[in-house]
Each structure stands twice: as structure tokens, then as C-alpha cells.
């Protein structure tokens, strides 16, 4: 029986491309939001969810991070990275010079900010729920419109491609994670993602001491950032990606020490580190 994988739809999104790269034989189920895709797994309507978590131009996908911090009990069991190649799509026969509004997902709009300023300086910019929902919004628009979306969406919706490869930086890629009821067993080449916050945000040296637990054991940190705790201004949740599996002895000991310093603690999961195939 094939796996049931939830993703941010409609069909044709980069999230669907990530699902196809992960498991082309899976039964794909599109959902209108990252939260809804994750909820499908929690409710048993899907086995896994594939969601975007980080882009090489725009950085973290905050909807996904906030969902993992505050709303979901799921674990990260795998990561994968896919190239992002944005296109400008429009109704058949629509001229680029006549476009008055451009639709796309907020992350895609950010990845094409310079292109839009140079080529559509007078057009309004409107965020859609996904890059492919942007095509639907464009088709429904009463004003001359365009959408930033994957090339595949042009084939699905029978629209024109006005330009390709419009992202502001070459090598644009997005990191996706697979969410499930459990994380992955050790492979010997793993990552672990955690989130935590302190009881006293302004206490000098507390983040330094926490990070020292990893440094003293020779554990590499590949990423560290913060998100508002949503409790009060100036309080933050720290998010860290670490080399190693949570069951590896040095990392296990470090995690236990850091957990003892925190008021909020969450291990998102341990999972194989993505390696691009030669």
C-alpha cells in the first residue's frame, strides 16, 4: 500500500514537487495550508506531510516554524532540498506591459523582489495561499494580472509563460521536511532540530552557557535563530539544528543539560542529513 502524503496544494506547487522527489509512488493529498497538512497526519488522514521550512533567499518559512513550536506534536523524520525556478504566468494573450497586479505566495514574492521592482514597478503585489493558488487568483482577477508560480502550473492551468527563472539569486533552493508521528533511527549521518526558551530572557550568559554544552562536546551547530514566543514582547524561542542523532551519547548528554536550563523544551526530531546525489 502506498504512503499517503499531505502537502500544501493545489497540485503543481513546489511542495508537490518535493513529495514527488521524496516518493513518486505516494498517494498525494493537497491541503490549503501547512497547518492543515500537518493536522491530516495527526488525525490519521495521511501518513506523512511534506512542508517547506527554509529557503536559500528568504530564509525560514515562519508558518512552518511556528506550527512546529506551538501547534504540532509531529516529528521531523527526513529533510530534502529541491531547486526553485519561478516563472511569470498570465492568461493566454495577456501582455506583460498591461499587468496591474502580481499574485504569489509571500515567500515566492520575497524571492523575486528585485525582479518585480525592475519589470513590474507599477503593479500591485498580492500574497496568495500558495504559488499555484496564485494562478487561480490571477485567473479570477478583474484586473490584468500575472502570477509567480512553477512552470508545471502553466501546463495544468493552460496559461502563458511570460518569463522563467526570475528569482533574484541563482541557485535558489528550498529545504523541505517530512513530518510524521516519529522521527528516524540513527544512520551515522544525522541532524537533530530543537526549540527552547528560558524563564528569564535577559539573564546574562544563559544562551552562551547552553551553546557551550554543545561546543564542549565538539557538536556542530548548523543553524540557530529565534522566533517570538507569542507570550510577551522581548521573549523568544530559540531554534537550533545540530549535527548528530539525539541517541548519540555526546548529543544525548548535551541535550539533557540544555533541557535542564529551559522553561520550554522541544525536540523536533532526528533525521538523516540531506546529501545531494552525485
**Chain segment 132-169, per-residue pLDDT in tens:** 999 999 999 999 999 999 999 999 999 999 999 999 99
Model pTM score: 0.89
d(CA 157, CA 71): 34
Q: What is the pLDDT of residue 235?
A: 86
What distance, in Å, lies between the first and last C-alpha atoms of the chain? 30
Q: What is the pLDDT of residue 75?
A: 98
Q: Please answer whether residues 33 and 10 qualify as being in contact, where contact means their C-beta atoms are separated by less than 8 angstroms.
A: no
Q: In whole numbers, what is the pLDDT of the chain averaged over residues?
A: 94
Helices within the chain (DSSP H only): 14-22, 34-42, 62-66, 106-111, 113-119, 131-140, 151-157, 206-215, 249-259
Q: Which of 153, 196, 187 has its CA nearest to residue 273? A: 187
Q: Any residues with CB less than 8 A from the CB of 277 and at least 6 apart, and which?
A: none
Position 207 pLDDT exceeds 70 = yes
Q: What is the pLDDT of residue 234?
A: 80
Domains and CATH numbers, the chain: 4-83+172-180 (3.40.190.10), 87-164 (3.40.190.10), 190-272 (3.30.70.260)
The pLDDT confidence band at residue 49, using thresholds 50, 70 and 90, is very high
Q: What is the pLDDT of residue 60?
A: 92
- The neighbour count for residue 197, using CB atoms within 10 Å, is 19
Q: What is the pLDDT of residue 230?
A: 85
Share of the chain above pLDDT 90, in %: 89
The pLDDT of 74-80, averaged and rounded, is: 97
The yes-or-no answer on residue 176 being catalytic is yes
> 13, 64, 131, 174: which is the annotated catalytic residue?
174
Q: Which three cell numbers stand for residue 158?
A: 493552460
Q: What is the pLDDT of residue 216?
A: 95
Q: What is the pLDDT of residue 278?
A: 56
Q: Which three cell numbers stand for residue 17?
A: 514537487
Regarding beta strands 221-228 and 264-272, do their DSSP bridges make them parallel or antiparallel, or are they unpaired?
A: unpaired
Q: Please answer whether residues 98 and 143 qualify as being in contact, where contact means their C-beta atoms are separated by less than 8 angstroms.
A: no
The pLDDT of 181-205, averaged and rounded, is: 90
- The neighbour count for residue 114, using CB atoms within 10 Å, is 12
> 31, 176, 198, 238: which is the annotated catalytic residue?
176
Amino acid at each position: 500500500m502506498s504512503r499517503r502524503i499531505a502537502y500544501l496544494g493545489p497540485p503543481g506547487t513546489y511542495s508537490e514537487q518535493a513529495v514527488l522527489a521524496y516518493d513518486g509512488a505516494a498517494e498525494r493529498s493537497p491541503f490549503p495550508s501547512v497547518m492543515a497538512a500537518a493536522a491530516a497526519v495527526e488525525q490519521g488522514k495521511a501518513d506523512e506531510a511534506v512542508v517547506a521550512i527554509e529557503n536559500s533567499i528568504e530564509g525560514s518559512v515562519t508558518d512552518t516554524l511556528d506550527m512546529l513550536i506551538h501547534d504540532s506534536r509531529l516529528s521531523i523524520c527526513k529533510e530534502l532540498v529541491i531547486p526553485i525556478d519561478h516563472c511569470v504566468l498570465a492568461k493566454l494573450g495577456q501582455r506583460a506591459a498591461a499587468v496591474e497586479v502580481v499574485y504569489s505566495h509571500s515567500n515566492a514574492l520575497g524571492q523575486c523582489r528585485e525582479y518585480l521592482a525592475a519589470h513590474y514597478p507599477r503593479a500591485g503585489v498580492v500574497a496568495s495561499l500558495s504559488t499555484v493558488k496564485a494562478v487561480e487568483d490571477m485567473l479570477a482577477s478583474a484586473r490584468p494580472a500575472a502570477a509567480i508560480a512553477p512552470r508545471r502550473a502553466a501546463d495544468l492551468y493552460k496559461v502563458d509563460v511570460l518569463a522563467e527563472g526570475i528569482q533574484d539569486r541563482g541557485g535558489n533552493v528550498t529545504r523541505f521536511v517530512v513530518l510524521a508521528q516519529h522521527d528516524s533511527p540513527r544512520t551515522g549521518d544525522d541532524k537533530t532540530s530543537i526549540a527552547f526558551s528560558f524563564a528569564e530572557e535577559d539573564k546574562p550568559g544563559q544562551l552562551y552557557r547552553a551553546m557551550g554544552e554543545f561546543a564542549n562536546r565538539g557538536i556542530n551547530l548548523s543553524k540557530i535563530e529565534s522566533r517570538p514566543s507569542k507570550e510577551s514582547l522581548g521573549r523568544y524561542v530559540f531554534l537550533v539544528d545540530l549535527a548528530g542523532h539525539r541517541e548519540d551519547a555526546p548529543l544525548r548528554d548535551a541535550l539533557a543539560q540544555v533541557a535542564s536550563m529551559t522553561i520550554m523544551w522541544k525536540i523536533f526530531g532526528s533525521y538523516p542529513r540531506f546529501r545531494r546525489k552525485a
